[in-house]
């Protein structure tokens, strides 16, 4: 399994994300993460496709006033090591890497803040390790059964990522964001991916979503979904109002987790799939309020 690591020089001009970076060996490779703030609360922020920890930069200032904020880059993304072949990635690889990450940092009393693939993996982690998690904040994500049919918009996205010769990371993020991104922000999202080999993880994730007729990890997500149906700790489902990719998953997810309907029925207005980019400060305030009331 050949790996590559994006040179640190590629991140020199990344705006508003100049936090110290740490690394931990999670088995097959090293995972990078940002760890700021302190206190009894621990916010674990998990990104999705095809972003990296930079996505949470607007939330970190507010969350770090309330507690410790840990933002890892999934293997294949950000500053973490990257496998150069799509076939080297699997649901098990990502899941076990994050499981090891929790163990190595011995994270406890976690408020999970997750979106997109960060939710598929993070909700599975929380379901399997409830002793480490105090709360869940699920945003624009799902815990798929593995037998559901995907939306036309998602199918078009997956098809696009498979057929293009060069995966346009910045374009994908801009197209799923209501905010007009600056050139500096687009460059920051593209910074981890200097060549096509480094994008193997970003190419692998879309087709890996457990679903009818395809994907990977469906047995694990389906079992985790059953456990979440018995979740007793606080949960807050916080979706944007303009996401064609995951929007329809919002109400079923809110109904699945028993405690979710105990929280306010809130939509983040004027935001698309990457709601952290469109309304990061607002979301951070909602999360802190959720922690305070629970």
pLDDT in tens, 256-285: 999 999 999 999 999 999 999 999 999 999
Question: How many other CB atoms are found less than 10 A from the CB of residue 7?
Answer: 11
Q: How many CB atoms lie within 10 A of CB 108?
A: 12
CATH of the domain at 44: 3.40.50.1820
Per the listing, tokens 């799923």 go with: 176
* pLDDT at residue 1 in the model: 83
Mean local confidence (pLDDT), 38-54: 97
163, 188, 241 from 167: Cα distances, Å: 9, 15, 27
Q: Which residues, at least 6 apart from 232, have a Cβ–Cβ distance to it below 8 Å?
A: 258, 259
Query: In the block, which residue shows the tokens 């995907």?
Result: 150
Q: So what's the pLDDT on residue 198?
A: 97
Alpha helix (H) ranges present in 106-233? 117-128, 152-163, 169-175, 183-190, 200-208, 218-228
pLDDT-derived band at 151, boundaries 50, 70, 90: confident
In the chain, where do the E strands start and end? Answer: 3-4, 21-25, 30-36, 42-46, 68-72, 82-83, 110-115, 133-139, 235-237, 239-240, 267-268
Mean pLDDT in residue range 16-35: 97
Q: If we measure between CA atoms, which residue out of 107, 123, 102, 118 comes closest to residue 53?
A: 118
DSSP 2: -
Q: Residue 235 CA to chain centroid, in angstroms?
A: 17
Enclosing H/E stretch for 113: strand 110-115
The domain of 12 spans 3-293
* 105: three-class secondary structure by DSSP: helix
241 among known catalytic residues? no
pLDDT score for 206: 96
Evaluate if residue 103 carries a pLDDT over 90: yes
116 is catalytic: yes
Q: Out of 35, 73, 88, 116, which one is annotated catalytic?
A: 116
Q: Rounded mean pLDDT of the chain? A: 97
Residue showing tokens 């607007």: 58
Say whether 25 is catalytic: no
Domain count, the chain: 1
């Amino acid at each position: 399994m050949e790996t590559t690591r994006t040179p640190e020089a590629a991140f020199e001009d990344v705006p508003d994300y100049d936090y110290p970076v740490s690394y931990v060996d999670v088995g097959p490779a090293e995972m990078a993460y940002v760890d700021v703030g302190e206190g009894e609360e621990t916010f674990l922020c998990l990104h999705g496709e095809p972003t990296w920890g930079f996505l949470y930069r607007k939330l970190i200032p507010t969350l770090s006033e309330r507690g410790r904020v840990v933002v890892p880059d999934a293997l294949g993304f950000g500053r973490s090591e990257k496998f150069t072949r799509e076939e080297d990635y699997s649901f098990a690889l990502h899941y076990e890497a994050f499981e090891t990450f929790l163990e190595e940092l011995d994270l406890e009393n976690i408020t999970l803040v997750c979106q997109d693939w960060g939710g598929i993996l993070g909700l599975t982690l929380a379901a399997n390790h409830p002793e480490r998690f105090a709360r869940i904040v699920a945003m624009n994500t799902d815990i798929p059964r593995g037998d559901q049919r995907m939306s036309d918009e998602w199918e078009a996205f997956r098809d696009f990522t498979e057929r293009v010769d060069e995966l346009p990371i910045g374009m994908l993020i801009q197209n799923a964001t209501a905010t007009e991104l600056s050139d500096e922000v687009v460059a920051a999202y593209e910074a981890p991916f200097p060549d096509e080999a480094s994008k193997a993880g970003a190419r692998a994730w879309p087709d890996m979503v457990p679903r009818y007729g395809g994907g990977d990890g469906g047995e694990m997500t389906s079992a985790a979904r059953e456990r979440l149906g018995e979740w007793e700790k606080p949960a807050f489902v916080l979706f944007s109002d303009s996401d064609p990719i995951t929007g329809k998953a919002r109400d079923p997810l809110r109904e699945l987790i028993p405690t979710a309907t105990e929280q306010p029925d809130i939509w983040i207005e004027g935001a698309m799939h990457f709601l952290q980019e469109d309304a990061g400060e607002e979301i951070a305030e909602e999360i802190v309020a959720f922690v305070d009331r629970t």
